[in-house]
Structure 1
Amino acid sequence: MKDVVALSGAHTIGLAQCFTFKNRLFDFKGTGQPDPNLDTSLASSLKTSCPNVAKSNTNLNSLDMVTTYMFDNAYYKNLVNNAGLLESDQALMSDPRAAKMVNDYSMYPYLFYGDFAASMVKLGNIGIITGENGQIRRKCSQVNV
């Protein structure tokens, strides 16, 4: 779990297309309502850049609205304040163990930096799968058929 929470901090940098989170703004889990766990001022702002029309699906928004282009611990501060852009990011706050790590990382940036570095080393040591033993997925969430 520590590796997942630490590596999720990579979302302190980067952008996401509206289609990856638009359901949180307009029809969370089929309710026709926004995600109740999403900060209301963030939701209002996102609705401006991602209106509920198909042509907005490719519009980009910062994963970390505070410091979009800085590698820091603002991502975790956002999660503590219910301002995680992706549902999968905000979900870290729903598990007590993960939420404790998120809180710790939000308060102690050097703890995050150290754990992130260690988790990246572990990830780098997993090894590359090549040839018949692996594949580059055309769609990340599905095995190629």
Structure 2
Amino acid sequence: MSMSEVIKIFTSKGFSVQEMVALVGAHTIGLSHCNQFSQRLFKFNKSSDIDPAYNPEYAAGLKKLCENYTKDPSMSAFNDVITPTKFDNMYYKNLRKGMGLLATDSAMFGDSRTRPFVDTYAEDENKFFQDFARAMEKLSVLHVKTGTKGEVRSRCDSFNTLSY
């Protein structure tokens, strides 16, 4: 997906480019399955197996980690390999070093519309925290279902089951 497509999705929901970049900073924690980024490691294009946007050492580590991802679809990598369990601005610092795991991560650093915000958040963690909080507040009220149209889930990763 191109950065223009990503921006279009967010702006169609009423988010600015800056709010989008702040929200994507949630990638500072969590992981992605190898099949979500394997095309950047194996047979990227006719001239290179590996996406040249990747830091070579980072790509080599990912390639080794994901070498058997087709046999084990649960194989995954941290979105932020430096501080994977800490909510901080390391994600943005990693983008500047060619360590954006997903194609959209790398594209965000390479795009003139988003890079100024990546640079700002890489340099100023408090600014990231403030902008992320505001954008999350805005996201939290987007298309909220109420009454009989929604439900409070017992587990956030699955719908409640109806029992008769």
Verify same fold: TM over 0.5.
yes
**Is 2:96 the counterpart of 1:80?**
yes
**TM-fit CA distance, 1:30:** 6.0
Determine helix, strand or coil for the equivalent of 2:41: helix
Check conservation: 1:13, 1:68, Cα contact below 8 A: yes
Superposition CA RMSD, Å: 2.1
Give the distance between the partners of 2:86 and 2:136, measured in 1 at CA.
18
CA distance, structure 1, for counterparts of residue 81 and residue 53 of structure 2: 17
Give the alignment of 1:10-21 within 5 angstroms: 10-21=26-37
Contact 1:77 1:106 in 2 (8 A): yes
- Counterpart code for 1:127: H
Structure 1: gaps spanning 5 or more residues: 135-145
Larger Rg: 2
Aligned length: 133
In structure 2, what residue type is equivalent to 1:80? R
Q: Percent identity?
A: 39
2:57 is the counterpart of 1:23: no
Question: Which stretch shifts more, 77-86 or 89-98?
Answer: 89-98
Partner of 2:124: 108
Secondary structure of residue in 1 paired with 2:77: strand
**Given the two structures, how large is their TM-score scaled by the length of structure 2?**
0.74
Are the equivalent residues in 2 in contact too, given 1:12–1:75 (CA < 8 A)? yes
Matched residues in 2 for 1:58 and 1:30: separation?
28
In structure 1, the residue matched to 2:158 is none
Instruction: For residue 22 of structure 1, report the CA deviation from its aligned partner.
Output: 0.7
Measure, in 1, the Cα distance between the counterparts of 2:33 and 2:46.
20
Alignment of 1:1-145 (within 5 A): 1-29=17-45, 33-51=49-67, 54-129=70-145
Paired position in structure 1 for 2:162: none
Cα distance, 1:72 vs structure 2: 0.1
Offset at 1:58?
A: 2.1
Counterpart Cα distance in 1 of 2:72 and 2:48: 18
Greater share of residues in helix: 1
Letter in 2 for 1:35: D
